[in-house]
Amino acid sequence: MEWEDFFIGRLMTKREAIQTWKEYLTKTQWKIDGILKKMEQMPAIKVSEDKVICSRCHCEDRDQYASLTYRQEKIFFCCSCLQMGRITSRDILYYLPNTKYLVTDQYHSFLSWKGELSLQQKIAAQEAFDSLGDSLHPHLIHAVTGAGKTEMLFPIIDKILRGGGKIAIASPRVDVCIELFPRICEAFKNTKVILLHGKSQTQYKPCDILITTTHQLLRFIQAFDLLIVDEVDAFPYVDDHRLHFAVNRAVKNKGKLLFLTATPDKKIDIAVKKGLIHRTILPARYHGHPLVEPIFIWLGEWETHLIIRKKKTKLFNTLKNFIELKGKKLIFMANIKLAIALAEWLMKEFAQIPLTYVYAADPERQKKVEKLRRGEYEVLISTTILERGVTFENCQVYILGAEDPLFSKSALVQMSGRVGRKADFPSGKVIFGHHGITSEMKKAYQEIRSMNLLAKKRGLLSGEE
Residues that bind Zn ion (CB under 5 A): 54, 56-57, 59, 78, 80-81
DSSP assignment, residue 243? H
The amino acid at residue 18 is I
Contact 89, 12 (CB under 8 A): no
Q: How far is the CB of 409 from Zn ion (least distance, A)?
A: 33
Q: How does DSSP assign 153-213, residue by residue?
A: HHHHHHHHHHTT--EEEEES-HHHHHHHHHHHHHHTTTS-EEEE-TTS-PPP---SEEEEE
What φ, ψ does residue 278 adopt, rounded to 5°? Answer: -95, 150
Listed in sequence order, the residues at least 6 apart from 306 whose beta carbon sits closer than 8 Å to its beta carbon are 315, 338, 341, 342, 345
Q: How far is the CB of 52 from Zn ion (least distance, A)?
A: 10
Contact 332, 384 (CB under 8 A): yes
Ramachandran quadrant class, 418 (left: phi over 0; alpha: psi -120 to 50; beta: rest):
alpha
Q: How far is the CB of 76 from Zn ion (least distance, A)?
A: 10
DSSP assignment, residue 419? T
Closer CB to Zn ion, 53 or 272, in the complex: 53
Contact 76, 67 (CB under 8 A): yes
Q: How far is the CB of 172 from Zn ion (least distance, A)?
A: 18
DSSP assignment, residue 62? G
Closer CB to Zn ion, 213 or 382, in the complex: 213
Q: How far is the CB of 93 from Zn ion (least distance, A)?
A: 10
Contact 289, 260 (CB under 8 A): no
Taking the CA atoms of 433, 438, 440 and 445 in sequence, report the sign of the dihedral they define. positive
Q: How far is the CB of 42 from Zn ion (least distance, A)?
A: 13
Closer CB to Zn ion, 59 or 369, in the complex: 59
Closer CB to Zn ion, 61 or 186, in the complex: 61
Q: How far is the CB of 11 from Zn ion (least distance, A)?
A: 11
Q: How far is the CB of 88 from Zn ion (least distance, A)?
A: 10
Closer CB to Zn ion, 215 or 429, in the complex: 215
- Distance between CA atoms of residues 330 and 347, nearest Å: 15
Closer CB to Zn ion, 80 or 98, in the complex: 80
Closer CB to Zn ion, 54 or 229, in the complex: 54
Taking the CA atoms of 119, 121, 127 and 133 in sequence, report the sign of the dihedral they define. negative
Closer CB to Zn ion, 68 or 453, in the complex: 68
